[in-house]
Amino acid sequence: MAEEHSYIAEQASRIDQLIESCESLKKEIEESNAEHSDRITETSNVLRMTHDYVTGLHYSLVEHGGFLRNGLGLSREQRSHLNVLERTNLVSSRTSVELMRLLRQHVA
């Protein structure tokens, strides 16, 4: 009987240690999940800010005479407006290149 009680006490001790280990691992997993969630949120915010910045650059480029063929998530009205400006800028650019070519030929 003494051996059996000793064995049972040993097993109870091992079970308690395993329970503590499981609880410790569970806590570590929860902390890791929280940390990953924070990092995902931070990355999402950075990505959203970068997208807004690039959209602003695109708009600025087109408004100042450039052209860039990508809508970058603009609304339908903004995209339509920028497409008109881009087309105008592209035609203007090609026209000025052609004009310079003709002037060089005429002078030469």
Task: Specify whether the CB–CB gap between 62 and 68 falls below 8 A.
Answer: yes
Q: What's residue 99's pLDDT?
A: 82
Task: Specify whether the CB–CB gap between 66 and 89 falls below 8 A.
Answer: yes
Task: Specify whether the CB–CB gap between 68 and 86 falls below 8 A.
Answer: yes
Q: Which whole-number Å values give the CA distances from 24 to 18, 29, 31, 98, 107, in the listed order?
A: 10, 9, 11, 74, 85
SS3 label, residue 108: coil
pTM, two decimal places: 0.44
Q: What's residue 4's pLDDT?
A: 87
Percent of the residues in the chain that have a pLDDT greater than 90, as a whole number: 34
Which range marks the domain in which residue 43 is found?
2-107
Give how many domains the chain has, as a whole number: 1
Task: Return d(Cα 16, Cα 24) in angstroms, integer.
Answer: 12
